[in-house]
């Protein structure tokens, strides 16, 4: 999901689907020191919606508002990406053992913990980011990508509405009230 401005064609410009806001530090795999920025994504439209809107108990038109720093004319949209990037799969038990991680360290809400292991993986090199199971539903995967060079848009972004099938399904799976 992203705040998409249709007229924006450069990934370095706010409003492009691959734009990453420079104000980070609170996300699961963010780098509070600012050496790298993270693009968050999901493996499915429903998973992306659930992660983005999951903290709201009721989904109204207001939750689909774009973040305050978004350019005028932006809309929340789903984006499908394509590309060949090497991502470390933290849902693989062998990877967890190799990294010295426990599942509880991956999904903890203590950002100091998750940002430490993310920083170690970033510094080790060889991966464009990490993937782990979604906090909202483990059938979905979440991604944190610090190297986005191999990514491109697969097709046009899809503006979100409260009646979008991904919003409806995500709301049902994580038990949210959708007020249309």
**pLDDT for res 129:** 98
Averaged pLDDT of the chain = 96
Does residue 23 surpass a pLDDT of 90?
Answer: no
Burial class (CB in 10 A: 0-12, 13-18, 19+), 27: middle
What's the CA gap between 91 and 106, in Å, rounded? 9
- pLDDT range class, residue 40, cuts 50, 70, 90: very high
Question: Would the pTM of this model clear 0.85, i.e. be above it?
Answer: yes
- pLDDT range class, residue 56, cuts 50, 70, 90: very high
Q: What's the N-to-C CA distance of the chain in angstroms?
A: 20
Helix (H, G, I), strand (E, B) or coil at 38: coil
Domain count, the chain: 1
Range of the domain at 151: 2-178
User: Left if phi > 0, otherwise alpha if psi is -120 to 50, otherwise beta: which for 144?
Assistant: beta
């Amino acid at each position: 999901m992203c705040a998409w401005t249709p007229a924006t064609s450069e990934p370095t410009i706010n409003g492009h689907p691959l734009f990453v806001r420079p104000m980070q530090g609170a996300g699961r795999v963010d780098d509070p020191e600012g050496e790298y920025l993270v693009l968050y994504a999901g493996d499915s439209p429903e998973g992306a919606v659930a992660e983005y809107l999951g903290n709201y108990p009721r989904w109204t038109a207001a939750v689909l508002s774009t973040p305050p720093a978004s350019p005028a004319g932006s809309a929340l949209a789903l984006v499908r990406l394509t590309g060949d990037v090497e991502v470390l799969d933290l849902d693989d038990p062998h990877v967890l053992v190799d990294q010295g991680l426990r599942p509880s360290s991956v999904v903890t809400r203590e950002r100091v913990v998750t940002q430490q292991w993310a920083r170690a993986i970033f510094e080790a090199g060889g991966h464009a980011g990490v993937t782990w199971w979604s906090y909202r539903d483990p059938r979905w995967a979440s991604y944190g990508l610090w190297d986005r060079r191999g990514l491109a848009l697969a097709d046009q972004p899809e503006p979100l509405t409260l009646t979008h099938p991904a919003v409806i399904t995500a709301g049902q799976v994580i038990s949210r009230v959708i007020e249309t």
